[in-house]
Amino acid sequence: MSAEISIFDLFLQASLLVKSVMIILLGFSISCWAMIFQRRKVINDAQAQMKRFEDKFWSGADLSKLYNEVSSKGPATGIESLFVSGFKEFARLRKSNQDSPQAIIDGTHRAMRVALSREVDHLETHLPFMATVGSISPYIGLFGTVWGIMNSFIALGAVEQATLAMVAPGIAEALIATAMGLFAAIPAVMAFNRFSHHVEKLENGYGNFMEEFSSILQRQSTTER
């Protein structure tokens, strides 16, 4: 009998509560893997977009033309969202011609910080769920194991002559729950740590761009006045 069939048979023989624990952990694992692939694409796209945009931005392109080019593509995302929000607010405040250059830059900076917060929230989507799965899955699996072993020993106490063959299947069923808990937790923790690191790097990159862009706008505002 193959290992896969043996594990499936043990699952079928497990108690209802242990089966429920295994199904919950399987659901956690499938959900996490779906989120891992989705988050990897989102973060990879954000990294590639930041590199493309910074190359274009620092090539000396006219800011107004660059703004029109980015805006024409539809709703801006990632680092382009910071640029669009900042330049739009800068142009609006400068057009009113009522604020000092520093007030214009402060308003521009606030607009970009709002965009930055929104983009970081988008990048961190699903990460709390991965952290939760990584934290609680081993304990849920351990609960199923403890319950299954407890039932095995209770059943063992009802017979006059106990043998290892009688208790082994029940213990094996219970231990599968622990294995499934680890199977769900380990990828979730690894993905959470990896994605958190990438999000932090992107946030730092966005923050650096925001400060550099603010400096450029401040010089431009001061010169024009």
In order, the DSSP letters of the chain are --HHHHHHHHHHHS-HHHHHHHHHHHHHHHHHHHHHHHHHHHHHHHHHHHHHHHHHHTTT--HHHHHHHHHTTSS--THHHHHHHHHHHHHHHHHHT-S-HHHHHHHHHHHHHHHHHHHHHHHTTTHHHHHHHHHHHHHHHHHHHHHHHHHHHHHHHTSSS--HHHHHHHHHHHHHHHHHHHHHHHHHHHHHHHHHHHHHHHHHHHHHHHHHHHHHHHHHHHHH-
The model carries a pTM of 0.83
Average pLDDT of the chain, as a whole number: 86
What mean pLDDT do residues 148-173 have? 69
pLDDT tens for 56-103 read 999 887 889 999 999 888 888 999 999 999 999 998 888 876 667 888
pLDDT tens for 215-225 read 988 887 766 55
